[in-house]
Amino acid sequence: MVVTATLALVIVIWCVYRMRRYPLAKGLRRLAPVYVPSVLASRPIIRLANRMLLAMPRPEATRLVDEEEGAIDLGDHILNYVIYRPKNASGPLPAMLYMHGGGFFLEAAPYLYGKAMGYSSGAGCIVMVPRYRTSDAHPWPAGEDDCMAALRHLCSLDGVDATRIALGGDSAGACIAATLARRCAKEGIGVCFQLLVYPVLDDSLTSASSLRYRACPVWNTALSRRMWDMYLGGRRGEYVSPLAENDFSCLPPAYIEAARYDSLHDDALSYADRLREAGVEVEFHDVEGACHGYDAMVSCDVARRMLAVRIRALSRAFRIQEEE
């Protein structure tokens, strides 16, 4: 009885402390007490989590989009993907390759496909979500190379306007989007826009927010360190860490969204500043009351509002490109 009461008191104190330390917006407050120890990011646990994620059904396609599954034979492995197209759309359409988050090591959570449908129907574009190889078994550059192959495939599909291609992603997926934008600039592949949601951008983990919010809800600095160690596998190469690059003038316009209570917050801010300094157009949003991965709570007001903001930014980018 005493042990139970003591444990309950500790839990209450922890929750109160965390809610005051991280005053999240309405609908997100239940995330404030969530702290994920980096020990949970072990390969056995990750592989179990990935089996569970792959067993979860994707949300059914809405009445506004058509869904199509496909696969690309890359020789040594098959790259699977899902495509969403606006229903009854005609003519070549703009398209976005969207990379899911999950620390490079997790498969896509089902809600991410719902976001992809929202982008497709809201911006009137084709959205491809590749199932890239995860770093628990395939360190860099496997996932990045898979996404580059997916991009080339997307550009070749019937009904895709290859002059209006965007790269998007959240968290680690946003990192892959940013690295692909740089690879595309070097290889002469036209990309018109980057959509980066609470992005991973710097493996040095030296930003002020990495210290200030090192134990923040859902994601934290220790998890980031574990993520980069697993992703890189002791290797290093071009484009891996977008903030470590020098020339930003070659990159396309960007939408960048940072969550206020996120250890990665300042990386997004620094990336936006570097792009602006290079003369690249940036739309930056600092989402007050949000933490990393907040839009997994899809029904809360701030998640719905920011999804609409992203869709408007994507629509404008495609429209401007068409007018040019």
Residue indicated by tokens 């929202």: 118
Which residue in 171, 207, 209, 210 is the catalytic one? Answer: 171
Which residue in 170, 262, 266, 295 is the catalytic one? Answer: 262
Which residue in 138, 153, 285, 292 is the catalytic one? Answer: 292
Residue indicated by tokens 């890359």: 74
- Residue 72: closest CA among 83, 80, 84, 64: 80
Would you state the structure tokens that stand for residue 316, as one six-digit string? Answer: 């404008």
- Residue 218: closest CA among 26, 28, 14, 9: 28
Decide if 79 contacts 72 (C-beta within 8 A): yes
d(CA 111, CA 35): 21
Catalytic site includes residue 171: yes
Residues 6+ apart with CB under 8 A from 217: 18, 22, 24, 31, 32, 33, 34, 35, 261, 291, 292
Instruction: Provide the β-strand partners of residue 231.
Output: none
Core vs surface per residue 288-316: b (16+ CB within 10 A) or e: ebbbbbbbbbeebebbeebbeebbebbbe
Decide if 258 contacts 198 (C-beta within 8 A): yes
Catalytic site includes residue 100: no
Report the interhelical angle of 172-187 vs 142-156 (nearest 10°): 60
Catalytic site includes residue 292: yes
Computed on alpha carbons and rounded to an integer, the radius of gyration of the chain in Å comes to 19
Terminal alpha carbon distance of the chain: 72
- Return the active site residues: 171, 262, 292
